[in-house]
Every structure is written in structure tokens, then in C-alpha cells.
Structure 1
Amino acid sequence: MKLLVNINSLIPPLSGVGRYTLELLKRLLEAPEIDDIWGAGAQGILDRVQLGNLLVRLDSTALDDPSLYPSILGNPLWRRWARHIPGVRTAKLALENIKLGKILPLRQYIYWEPNYLLMPYPTKAVVTVHDLSHIDCPEYHPQSRVAELKRHLSGSLHRARHVLVVSEFTKKRVVEHFDIREAKISVIPPGVGPEFRPYDPAVVAEVRARYGLGRDYILSVGTLEPRKNIPNLLRAYTALPTELRNRYELLIVGANGWKSTEAEAMLSALEGQGVRRLGFINQKDLPVLYAGAVLAAYVPFYEGFGMPVAEALATGLAVMTSKRTPMADTAGDAAYLVDPDNVDSIRAGLAELLTRPELRAGLAARARARTSRLQWHTAAARLIECLENIDAAQY
């Protein structure tokens, strides 16, 4: 089987979609079922060797290193424009598509689009949809992205031979909103890498020292964007009794997103008052930061899956998250659930977990077993099965 993949989601800093793409591509490159694989996008056109080199470097180098990209994307200004100005990336891709058609016999390749919108490649296509937040809560996104998805997503879904989603929740919403047959949709949840596990105290201590973490801390991981609900988490934390805030720091980890003015203003005002923002960190340090935390707090308004919940559980950490699907489904009985709209509910959850170590221990004991089925090699095997069968009559 020959495969073509859109690699635009691999522009750092990697979002959840970017991490999903990266981890599955690493397994696809090793899969005996894949005879050839190319990546195409704003980074350029990469053959199997170049694609493999890119993935290795994404995993092991500074993610703002311009040498990661052999094309114009090595210019940080272009990368900023490509993310925020409608049409800039499309124009670049149009040029790359002309080149691609001259390099590959496209009709011999299956095209996997890991990020919603199919490119106009003249070949069989499979598309991954992570959520429908642009429909369910458009106020959480830039208007240009909402408009682009509303204009093109329906066409992508109906053109695709098969549709992949990350949760039963997203599958249900796609069926309801786009009138897609359930037989045309497969659920392939993300995996959790083996690096998300408990760590030796000496390893944890070294990472904590490197980031200057002297106190015990609550960890919250996620891109700074409205649906992650950082302002309500900050309000809940600052409403805790002084003795708890003096003992437990709130650590915010994640890249800058969009519509984050309120969250950024609150973070700046609270810096030095028990709240610290690390921003986007080296991804090799993230599992260790989970392992060193007292608990993970992730209370988004809306998600397609909720990777930080799974990552924290796999590390054996007590988790507080939203009582909404799919976070509650992912966590099951291994997390403390709160109402993301209610600051007092979040505050009460923090207080109870911080003052009841036996409750944290009980959640942590159930945590790792809950995510044992979420493996990247399992997700990759299911993806390969879908790719192999897109010509079947039921699709």
C-alpha cells in the first residue's frame, strides 16, 4: 500500500492534532503494510526518508528550530502568517500540489488527511475529524477557521472514502450533523506513549530543579485557547484557602493559542501568587512533570477526546476533569469530575483532592489501568486496517 499524508499539522508548536499525526506517522513508517509513504504540505514534499528524519527531529530538537523545515517555513515570520492569515498557506500548498503531481503517480496512492479538510488530490482519501467544536461552540475559535471549516468540511466528509474520528462522541456528532452513514465512520482514539508512566524520584527531582519547582504543584496542560477554560481554573485556584495556595503551586503548561487575552491577563496578574506559566515545554519533560505533580487539573468546556486526561492517568496521577463527554468517558471512575461552568465546583474539587491524600491515592490506583487500552500501536493498526479496506463495498 502506498500512502500520501498532509503534514501541515506538524508545524510546531504541535497541537493535539499535530501530536496525533506525529505519533501515528512514526508507526506507519515502520509498518510492513506500507510500501511507500510521502508527506506533503507547507513544509514541502518529503519522501519516506525525509519524512522519517523530520519526525525524529520533531521528537528530539527544539521545536522552534528553523532547520526543521527545508522550505520557506524556516522563516518564523512565514510560520506566523501561515497560521493566522487565510489564503497564505493555501497559496503555498497550491504550488506544492503542482510539484507533487509531477513527482508521484497520485492515483496509485491512498491519501490520509489527519486534519479535517481534504486537499484536492486525485486519489482515494481518508479524513480524520477530531471534533465539531467549530459548530458546537464557534465562539471558541477565530472566525476565519470557523468559516473555512463550515465552507469545506462537509465536502471533505462526503468526498472521503472513509471518515475517522477520535471518540464515540465525535462520531455521534458527525452522523447527526452531516448525515454520514455510521458504516463510513471508524473510531480511532489517540494512544498514550510509553513515556507517560511513573518515574524514579531522582528523575523527577532533576526536572523539577531545571524548571525551578520548589513546591508541590497542580499541573494543567493545554493550549491557551477559550475552550480550555483556564480563567475558571485560575478563579477556582485563587479562591482556595491561603494555606493551600501557599503549599501547592498551579502550573500552566501549553502553547499560545487564540482568543487568549483574558487568560493571558489573568496569568500575568497572578504570576508570583502561586501561579506559574511555563508555556510550551520540551515534550520529553512533560511526562516527568505529570509524574511529579500532586494532581492534574484539566477542566475544558469542550473536547473531542481530551488527551491531557489520558496522559495524566497513564502516569498514575490523580485527575480532576470536566463532567462532560468525552472527558468523563475517558476518565471513568479514575478521575474527580467537576462542572467546568461553575467556579465553585472546580474550587471544591481542588480543595477536596488537595486535603484528602487518600482520595488522590484511590484515583491514582485506578488511573493506569484505565488507559492501558490506549496504545499508539493499536491506533496505527486500526488506521492501517481502514486504509486497506477503503475500496470495500460498505465504504
Structure 2
Amino acid sequence: MIGIDAGPMVGQGGISSYVTPLVRTLVAGATDTHWRLFLRRSWRDHRHDHSFSDLAPTTTLWTPDRLLRFGWRWLPPSCLPMDRSWQALDGYLSTCLMTPTLTHATIISLIYDLIPLRLPHLFPRRREFLALVRETVERSDRLITISHRTKADLIELLKVEPDRVQVVYPGRHEEWSTIPPAALSAIRDRYGLPPRYLLYLGSLGPHKNVSTLLRAFALAHETGRLDVPLVIVGDPRWGEQALEFLKDLPSRRHIILTGRVPDSDVPAMYSGATAFVFPSLYEGFGLPVLDAMTCGVPAIVSTGGALPEVVGGAGICLPPDSIEAWADALCLICRDDMTRERLGREGMVRAAQFSWRRSATEVHRLLKSGQAHREAA
């Protein structure tokens, strides 16, 4: 039996966007494997989605997270108040840096990025993050990263042996490539969007570098080179620093803040955009960029982390700190129809190379090969 930490499936954000389709595809495609999903109490308390309960039996670990961490660090497994199914596991997929000590099972752990270590000045709790990553590395038989950039970071910053790390890219939402005109019209009406707009969709945290995007947009707009508005989709609670800049911005009336939008509105929000802009300082992958390319929307991204790896030459890559370069790129993508259409086509071709079925097959292979190795030993 193989266990999976299903906690991220009840949440929202980047990790959930990776884990949920991966686990769904993994469990649905490997019907010859007995699966069990695990929730910790902290996830159960915030649970808002029961839709994955049909996938496999689910067990809740009621021990508080801090006690679990303490127990996994200092106590033998037999002393922990765990469900019997825990002891029956042959393999375990750890999905969010809460990795148990299991002497009887193969542990494969997902590590999405090491951003707090690359940008320490933006993450005051980086030492806690580093401790969790180190524990995960020590307790895991194999590690999965979602990009070659994160694999390289693990090797460089934590001295992990290269052959312990396997890159498993995310997949794309195949159904997003064809959004009906009625859905586009409905989204424009719902959010008051014009026929053309530049789109940023994602977190507004400091490392997303939205302030540089706002400054570049203001420069392009105030010099008369740009007449297309900017739409920013994201929870404003995480963007106080960036949004503070808006108060005294002359071009403020050309910027539309939607707040967070329902997941069901996201595909049409992408598809209706003139271009997608993503100036992040560093990314372990950058799923919003893949989503935009899937929808045929040209992407302008920074050179931070794995973003050039994701676009693969099918987008515009710029230094994250160059306001002038970003302003020029915004103008180019809005004025040059041939460039915009070419990048849209090339982006769709690039996005088609990412498949959840391929991702799930690779993860299942790692879990089964680890299990076979243990049995042989």
C-alpha cells in the first residue's frame, strides 16, 4: 500500500495546483496499487473540499503538527499514536515538507523550490524552512523537484547527491486550450474588463516583484506608448507593499484590481488577455506561466529561477529588476501583432509538452522502484 500526504489538496495556491491534479491522475491511472490518503489535523480543520474522498480511503492524523514533528525527530515510530494503516505502508509520497520517519517504507518527497534560501532578505522564517527541508532530505529515499532549476539549487545549497533527485514537471490543463467565446464575454462583463488587457495572476507577495511591473506599466503609460490597461488578479492582503505604490500613481485608473477570483473564472481570464506578465524574482517553476501558454496567451516573464526553463524560448524573458526593459516589452507585445500572435502559437506548442499523465507515470515508477528495491534488500 502506498500513502500520500493529501493535505495540499484541501488548500489553494501553487502547491495545491501541483499536488491535486498529480494525485488525481496518479491514483486513477494506477488501479493495481492500493492507495491511502493522509490528512493532518491542521489540514482537516481548514478543509473546504471533499471532492477527493472518492479517490482512495482517507486517514486523519489527529496529532498536532508540532507533536508530529517532535515525534518524528526524537521518538521511534512505535511510540507514535498512528493509525494501523500507517504501519502497513510500502511507500509514501510526502507533498509539503512534513516528512515522517518510516523505516519500513520507501519515502519519495516533493520539493518545489528553495526560494527562502535564494532570497533570504524576504523570508524572516527561512531558518525554520531550512530545517524542514533538511529533515525531508534526510528522511527521504528519493526527492522530486518540479524543475531542473530547483534540482540544481538542492545540489548547490544542500549538497544533495544528484542521483537522488528526479525532475517531474507539472502538466497542463488540456481543456483550457479552447475557451468558448461566451465564457470570455461573461468574464469581461463580470469583472468590467476591456477587450484588450495585460494580465498578472498570482500571489502578491514581495518575491513576486509586482512593484517592478507597476513601475514599468506606469513608465510605458505615462510616456504615451501604451494604452492597454493592466489587470492584477490576486489576494491583496499579500501585496500591501506593492499596492501602496498605486496610491500616488497617475496611471492608477488604468489598473484593475480584481482580488482573488474563483478557479472556474481563471481559464477565461487568461484566454481573454492580450498578454500575461510575470516578473517574479525567483520561481521553482511558475505554473501561471504554463497556464497562460496553454490558453495561447503570449508570456512575458523574468529570468528568475525556472521561468526561462518553463517558457523554453516561447516567450519574452527579462531581468526582473529592469523597469525600462519591462516597459519596452509591454509596449512591444501590445503594438506588434505579428510578435504577439507568433508567441501565442509557440507558447501553445511549448505547453503541449507538459502532461499530467507523464508526471503521474514517473512518480508511480519512482514509488514502485523504491518498493522493489526494499523488497530485494
Which residue pairs with 2:230 in the alignment? 250
Which residue pairs with 1:169 in the alignment? 149
Which residue pairs with 2:114 in the alignment? 132
Which residue pairs with 1:106 in the alignment? 87
Displacement of 1:332: 2.2
Deviations 1:224-267 (A, max 9, x none): 1111110000010111135555x411111123575x33113134
* 3-state DSSP of counterpart to 2:92: strand
Which of 308, 317, 320 is the aligned partner of 1:340? Answer: 320
Deviations 1:36-79 (A, max 9, x none): 2222222349xxx9672489xxxxxxxxxxxxxx999xxxxxxx
Which residue pairs with 2:4 in the alignment? 5
Counterpart-to-counterpart distance in 1, 2:192 and 2:61: 37
1:263 aligns with 2:242: yes
Which residue pairs with 1:188 in the alignment? 168
Which of 314, 330, 334 is the aligned partner of 1:350? Answer: 330
**Are the aligned partners of 1:215 and 1:248 in contact in 2 as well (CA < 8 Å)?**
no
**Are the aligned partners of 2:91 and 2:371 in contact in 1 as well (CA < 8 Å)?**
no
**Are the aligned partners of 2:61 and 2:83 in contact in 1 as well (CA < 8 Å)?**
no
1:306 aligns with 2:286: yes
**Are the aligned partners of 2:303 and 2:317 in contact in 1 as well (CA < 8 Å)?**
yes
Displacement of 1:298: 0.7
Displacement of 1:209: 0.9
**Are the aligned partners of 1:116 and 1:130 in contact in 2 as well (CA < 8 Å)?**
no
Displacement of 1:165: 0.3
* 3-state DSSP of counterpart to 1:43: helix
**Are the aligned partners of 2:281 and 2:320 in contact in 1 as well (CA < 8 Å)?**
yes
Aligned residue pairs total 357
Q: Which runs of 5+ in 2 are unaligned?
A: 72-76
* 1:33-72 equivalence runs, <5 A: 33-41=32-40, 42-44=42-44, 52-53=52-53
* 3-state DSSP of counterpart to 1:248: coil
Which residue pairs with 1:90 in the alignment? 66
**Are the aligned partners of 1:44 and 1:71 in contact in 2 as well (CA < 8 Å)?**
no
Displacement of 1:164: 0.3
Displacement of 1:387: 0.8
**Are the aligned partners of 2:108 and 2:367 in contact in 1 as well (CA < 8 Å)?**
yes
Displacement of 1:130: 0.8
Match of 1:112, as an amino acid?
Answer: L
* 3-state DSSP of counterpart to 2:128: helix
**Are the aligned partners of 1:4 and 1:37 in contact in 2 as well (CA < 8 Å)?**
yes
Cα distance 1:51–1:213, how it changes in 2: closer, same or farther (>3 A)?
closer
**Are the aligned partners of 2:246 and 2:252 in contact in 1 as well (CA < 8 Å)?**
no
Counterpart-to-counterpart distance in 2, 1:39 and 1:278: 35
Deviations 1:64-123 (A, max 9, x none): xxxxxx999xxxxxxxxxxxxxx985358889x999713424242422111234134554
Displacement of 1:16: 0.8
Counterpart-to-counterpart distance in 1, 2:339 and 2:153: 34
Which of 306, 325, 344 is the aligned partner of 1:364? Answer: 344
Q: Which runs of 5+ in 1 are unaligned?
A: 56-69, 73-86
Counterpart-to-counterpart distance in 2, 1:88 and 1:190: 30
Displacement of 1:305: 0.9
**Are the aligned partners of 2:3 and 2:89 in contact in 1 as well (CA < 8 Å)?**
no
Cα distance 1:366–1:18, how it changes in 2: closer, same or farther (>3 A)?
same
Which residue pairs with 2:364 in the alignment? 384
Match of 2:15, as an amino acid?
Answer: V
Match of 2:180, as an amino acid?
Answer: D
User: Identical aligned pairs, as a percentage?
Assistant: 20
Displacement of 1:323: 2.9
